[in-house]
Amino acid sequence: MNAAVKELEDFRREVASWLKANKPADPGFLLPQTFMEVGSEEQLEFLREWQHKVWSAGYLGMAWAKEHGGQGVDAIYQSVVDQEMRRQAVPICFNVIGLGWAGPLINDIGTEEEKQRYLKGILSAEDIWCQGFSEPDHGSDLGNARTRAERDGDDYVINGSKIWTTMGNYAKYMILLARTNPEAERKYDGLSFFLAPMTVDGVSTRPIRKLTGEYGFTETFFDNARIPADCLMGGEGAGWKIAMKTLQYERGAEAGAAGGLAFVRIVIDDLIQQLRDVTRDGKPVLEDPLIRDQLVSLIMEEKAISLGDRRSGIPALTSDYPMSLPLSNKLRWTEYARRMRQFAINAQGADGALFVGDDRAREGGFWQRAYLNSFSATIGGGTSQVQANIVAEHVLGLPK
């Protein structure tokens, strides 16, 4: 074993034992499985405390500079942390828009001043971030954003509204895409990108109730909200390019995230475990030939995605369509997750009809809630249909 490998192994053991010792006890309420499901103050405070604790221990932002609150070591250390977090099924690090998208963006293209101002608060969970891309009339069609930002002295004045703002009611900052020039020849050139404070007059949010009955996002309104001009990132008219870069983080084609467990990965083993004690035709449902055939198909689908991750790191084995695996990852994983959870409910038999709040619901209605919530991933960040267009156009070269 060479020195670097040994160092990593020592680090892995250290992380594992820290997590074991510090993993929070069951709080007695259902915890969010993804950052898009934080819907109550008690969940928020629980998760904020947890993320702060992980960061204080030195396990978030491993690859970010020390002066910005990170650890200044190789990104491989973050992968080790994330793997151990997943393995021990600890709660998520919920400030995902900050950790995964806004933070990496600021780290990559931000000024030194922006890095000083924002990065540490993201890691410590002091500053929650949200994303202002989608608008009520055009979800995935970002090029048509209508929210206005007009320069007035040292400020920009924002008017309009954004929707599906995850954690909009808790966020201190928003990455905001707004139109600075409605006259621009190309609509894309009229867009600008802001690191916008949410705590100014004229910004208000209305919680939106989800299909699960919970709250998790908001509609956000800007009514002559004044934000300082230095919130503009990268110059007027550069908004589209920066938004696209942000989406690359979001869609997983580019690394750079500060790490932490972003969502609870519900794997096929969890499902199989459940199927062992459900009965159908007087026998365990796991013995039903049709269920078995479908279950094996799901196992294969999950394994294929894992193998694809491995393969995407070996250039010789991806030569036909080098961008295929990274670009289709979001599409494949989220579609798989939704169908797998739906299958889990069906396999419960009559009790599949129960929901969270019923005391006979299996695992407190975990699968029912997970299924309904799973649409947030096949719709959010670009619907699967939009993702499929992206793969078709960028990987297969099909015309727009």
Partner 1 sequence: MSVIGSTAMRFDEEQSMLLDYARSFCADRGGLNAAREHLETPLEYSPGVWDEMVAMGWTGIGLPEELGGSGLSIGAAVPVAESLGKALMGTPLLSTLLAAQLLLRADSKAAAEVLEGIAGGDAACVAELESEDWSALPRTTVIDDAGMLQGQKRLVMDATSARWIVVTAVAGADTALAVLDATTLDDDAINPRVLIDNTHRAADITFNGVTPLAVISGASVLAALRDYRLLGALLVAAESTGAAAACLDVTVDYLKTRKQFGKLIGSYQALKHPSVDMLTMMDSARSFVYHASSLLGSEPLDKDQEVACRMAKAQATDALKFAGDRAVQFHGGMGFTWDCDAQLFIRRAQGAQQQFGDAQHHRQRLAALLLDD
Give residues in contact with partner 1 (CB under 8 A): 267-269, 272, 286, 289, 292-293, 295-297, 299-304, 306-308, 310-311, 314, 316-317, 320-321, 324-325, 328, 331-332, 385, 388-389, 391-393, 395-400
In the complex with partner 1, which residue's Cβ is closer, 58 or 308? 308
In the complex with partner 1, which residue's Cβ is closer, 171 or 285? 285
Backbone conformation region of residue 160, classed left if phi is above 0, alpha if psi is from -120 to 50, else beta: left
* Residue 48, token pair as written in the block: 């904020």
Residue 361 neighbours by CB under 8 Å, 6+ apart: 351, 354, 355, 368
In the complex with partner 1, which residue's Cβ is closer, 40 or 294? 294
As measured in angstroms, the least distance from the Cβ of 80 to partner 1 is: 17
As measured in angstroms, the least distance from the Cβ of 43 to partner 1 is: 29
As measured in angstroms, the least distance from the Cβ of 312 to partner 1 is: 9
As measured in angstroms, the least distance from the Cβ of 265 to partner 1 is: 12
In the complex with partner 1, which residue's Cβ is closer, 283 or 360? 283
Q: Strand 283-284 vs strand 173-179: parallel, antiparallel, or unpaired?
A: unpaired
* Residue 79, token pair as written in the block: 């992968």
* Residue 326, token pair as written in the block: 């990274």
As measured in angstroms, the least distance from the Cβ of 224 to partner 1 is: 40
CA 119/CA 113 separation, integer angstroms: 10
**Count of CB atoms within 10 A of residue 112's CB?**
9
CA 281/CA 261 separation, integer angstroms: 40
In the complex with partner 1, which residue's Cβ is closer, 255 or 317? 317
In the complex with partner 1, which residue's Cβ is closer, 230 or 301? 301
Full DSSP string of 170-182? T-SEEEEEEES-T
CA 62/CA 275 separation, integer angstroms: 39
Sign, CA torsion 56/62/66/67? negative
As measured in angstroms, the least distance from the Cβ of 20 to partner 1 is: 20
In the complex with partner 1, which residue's Cβ is closer, 65 or 89? 89
As measured in angstroms, the least distance from the Cβ of 87 to partner 1 is: 11
Comparing C-alpha atoms, which of 42, 23, 64 is closest to residue 257? 64
CA 72/CA 106 separation, integer angstroms: 16
In the complex with partner 1, which residue's Cβ is closer, 56 or 297? 297
Exposure string (b/e) for 241-262, b if CB count within 10 Å is 16 or more?
Answer: ebbebbbbbbbbbeebbbbbbb
As measured in angstroms, the least distance from the Cβ of 285 to partner 1 is: 11
